[in-house]
Amino acid sequence: MFMKHMNHRKLITTAAMAALGLSFLTVGCEREISRTEDTKVKSDGTIESKEKKVTENPDGSVTKTETKKTEKP
């Protein structure tokens, strides 16, 4: 009886550990594929910054992000 209960506990523990490990594999972080940054200063002192970033998500999809900032003196 004790061995049967112990095997059952081991089975549940192993299943829980496998599920937890699998969840960490499926929930990954995004990976940055490329990134470019361009900064220009105009004659009036205005600073224009442009950033382009391409990332790959855990599901394999690709996301492109463009950010533009303008700072006036």
Q: Options 3.30.360, 3.40.50, 3.50.50, 3.40.630; which CATH number does 2-71 get?
A: 3.30.360
Q: How many residues does the chain have?
A: 73
DSSP state of 70: E
> 32-55 pLDDT, tens per residue?
899 999 999 999 999 999 999 999
Q: pTM above 0.85?
A: no
* Residue 17: pLDDT band with limits 50, 70, 90: confident
> Taking Cα atoms as reference points, which of 42, 69, 66 lies closest to residue 54?
66
How many helices and strands, by DSSP H and E, does the chain display?
A: 1, 3
Cα(45)–Cα(41) distance, rounded to whole angstroms? 6
